Amino acid sequence: MLTSKQRAYLRSKATKIEPVLMIGKGGASPEVVESANEALEARELIKAKVLDNCFEDIREIAHTIAERTRSDVVAVIGRKFVLFRKAKEKSAFEDMPKN
């Protein structure tokens, strides 16, 4: 669980990154979850975009993917959301506020 300071820090870092995960009409399918899991493993902080042909609730999709990948939802803004999962070893986010 992230604190508000950690969430704000990660949100500021996420403004500079492009979406690496596109979610279409299939929603939070197992393939999308697997892609998110792989991206989180490689990058720790990812941005995803929900395409216009997906009619599911964006917050619900974000929380479903976060639950299945054991990550945290940092922010949901418009049709985009940001996920974070700290790496087990050599995290790039060691300077993140503790509380």
CATH number for region 4-84: 3.30.110.60
Instruction: Calculate the CA 68 to chain-centre distance.
Output: 12
| pLDDT of amino acid 92 | 73
Domains of the chain, residue spans: 4-84
Each of the 99 residues of the chain gets a pLDDT tens digit; together they read 888 998 999 999 999 899 999 999 988 889 999 999 999 999 999 999 999 998 889 999 999 999 999 999 999 999 999 999 988 878 777 777 777
Contact call for residues 58 and 31 (beta carbons, < 8 A): no
pLDDT of 87 reads 82
Q: What are the residues whose beta carbons fall under 8 Å from the beta carbon of 4, sequence distance 6 or more?
A: none
pLDDT of residue 35: 93
The length of the chain, given as a count of residues: 99
